[in-house]
Amino acid sequence: MTLHILKVGGKVIDDLALLQPILESFLQKEGKKIIVHGGGKKASELSEKLGIAVQMVNGRRITDAASLEVATMVYAGLFNKQIVALLQSLGGNALGLSGADGNVILAHRRPVKEIDYGFVGDLDQVNAQAIHRLLNADFTPVFCAITHDGQGQLLNTNADTIASSLATAMSTLYEVKLYLCLDKNGVLSNPEDDASVIPSMNAADYERFKAEGIVYAGMLPKLDNAFDALRQGVKEVIICGPESVCYGGGTVIYQD
Amino acid sequence: MTLHILKVGGKVIDDLALLQPILESFLQKEGKKIIVHGGGKKASELSEKLGIAVQMVNGRRITDAASLEVATMVYAGLFNKQIVALLQSLGGNALGLSGADGNVILAHRRPVKEIDYGFVGDLDQVNAQAIHRLLNADFTPVFCAITHDGQGQLLNTNADTIASSLATAMSTLYEVKLYLCLDKNGVLSNPEDDASVIPSMNAADYERFKAEGIVYAGMLPKLDNAFDALRQGVKEVIICGPESVCYGGGTVIYQD
């Protein structure tokens, strides 16, 4: 059975009118589905309004107790429930989840070395059997980027990491396709030309594209994660944008 | 099979240290369990910090779009996930739910007559079968007071109403005991004396207590709701406080 996992983030999260056609076409896919969402700008906006300073150390954001409250409110509350209600209106039986709900994702607070990241969680375990039971009961789980440590502490976790860890963990039970929905419609061979989507890429292609400087900067960690996921059993990773989720296309990443 | 439904609200929601022993002893009960939580002061505090005016018409609070966002963030996000994470740390396999999750509670926006209450939902349907399946899968559902209309709109709904509607709907499948955890340890025969808890009350007692002025004011709608629930199949309603959930006691309301 195929399991489609869609990660959405960025501007489509801030605008339900942009998100709706994406979810609508995602629901058409044959097989089981999971959605993972990031945060959008709302959490930063809310922090600013509340006078909670965004603390950065060496370019990394720190999650103090007040920031964790904001993240929990915006990700697990506002966005998660808006997406669940939207999916329900489109006929998908969505069920919103943090890692604490049903104990589906366990994490631990990132150890303090040079930097104390605060309430940031690094993943320990995705409970694939519990998620499998929810999928079997015909729910479409919708994950926000909040996890817990099993000791009562909520933790802020990277949504991309949750998506790829879910994909890897579920690949023991399903043929998993992971869709990373970004702003552009795929990996572009020319950053100036939105139509220059590279249709597919294997590990050898990736090395060549890196050497030629065709892929660079922010796309590198995403592609590294994609190849990691493939090495760990995920069948296909698709780098796509709002339109390419809806109408096909995007860049299909495969192992070889 | 007995299903215990605990409604918590007020000051214990704002202080997890107060809530923990209540949840701990509630988890000890034999049978299935559901928790329903209200909001506490946090939503009003957050609205105030954000400069969202609390609009009252004829003594009733209006939920405009900004207030609905705050309610969704605080109830479905912060409190719901804090309670779920706390329950998980106590060994209960909690699963946080709004009415939209799994389409478990449907409501409609309250019709505008003299007053437009905004995004306030009146309940249409509790999906007892869906909740039954979650209970059978050994989850302990934790409901916040946010519902949806099935058309993508989230709605703010009274937590007491959710608790008694859940109790009524589930009583077709379970022997339901509904615990309403208030600040005092039960219905008091003397409001000045916290130890004067009336141990039990049937409909005839209630009429007599009303006539004698022993129960009055804010307790009346709660007791009316309790007797309504009993008439609709709920086995027992227990009016209790933090201590009486933990150590037994409270006022047991029964039909006759």
Q: Give strand ranges (E) for B86-215.
A: 94-97, 105-109, 121-126, 140-143, 146-148, 154-156, 175-181, 200-201
**Is A2-181 in CATH node 3.30.2130.10?**
no
DSSP state of A111: P
Chain B CB contacts of A77 under 8 Å are: 72-78, 80
A10: helix, coil or strand? Answer: coil
DSSP string, A21-51: HHHHHHHTSSSEEEEEE---SHHHHHHHHTT
Q: Which of A42, A48, A95, A98 to probe the B interface (max B CBs under 10 A)?
A: A95
Alpha helices for chain A (secondary structure H): 11-14, 16-27, 42-49, 65-71, 80-89, 128-136, 159-170, 203-211, 219-231, 242-247
Question: Among B180, B144, B156, B194, which Cα is nearest to B62's?
Answer: B156
A243: helix, coil or strand? Answer: helix
Q: What percentage of chain A carries pLDDT values higher than 70?
A: 99
Tens of pLDDT along B77-121? Answer: 999 999 999 999 999 999 999 999 999 999 999 999 888 999 999
Tens of pLDDT along A138-167? Answer: 999 999 999 999 999 999 999 999 999 999
Taking the C-alpha atoms of residue A36 and residue A9, their distance in angstroms, rounded to an integer, is 8
DSSP string, B206-233: HHHHHHTTSS-TTHHHHHHHHHHHHHTT
Q: Least CA distance to A45: which residue of chain B?
A: B50
What per-residue confidence (pLDDT) applies to B9?
87
Phi, psi (degrees; rounded to nearest 5) at A60: -110, 140
- 3-state class percentages of chain A: helix first, strand second, coil last, to nearest 5: 40, 25, 35
Q: Least CA distance to B83: which residue of chain A?
A: A152
Size of interface A-B (CB pairs under 8 A): 116
Cβ atoms of A70 and A43 within 8 Å: the answer is: yes
Residue range B221-249: average pLDDT?
89
What per-residue confidence (pLDDT) applies to B53?
87
Q: Does B37 touch chain A (CB under 8 A)?
A: no
Locus of tokens 């050898």: A204
Strand A146-148, strand A154-156: pairing: antiparallel
Can you say whether the dihedral through the CA atoms of B78, B83, B89, B95 is positive or negative? negative
Q: In this model, does residue B216 exceed pLDDT 90?
A: no
Alpha helices for B36-158 (secondary structure H): 42-49, 65-71, 80-89, 128-136
Chain B 133-172, residues with CB within 8 Å of chain A CB atoms: 133, 137, 139, 146, 148, 150-154
Q: Which option is the CATH number for B2-21+37-84+92-158: 3.40.1190.10, 3.40.1160.10, 3.90.1150.10, 3.40.190.10? A: 3.40.1160.10
What per-residue confidence (pLDDT) applies to B164?
95
Tens of pLDDT along A14-72? Answer: 889 999 999 999 999 999 999 999 887 899 899 999 999 888 777 777 899 999 999 99
Q: In this model, does residue A170 exceed pLDDT 90?
A: yes
Kindly provide the ipTM of the predicted complex, given to two decimals: 0.95
Tens of pLDDT along B115-124? Answer: 899 999 999 9
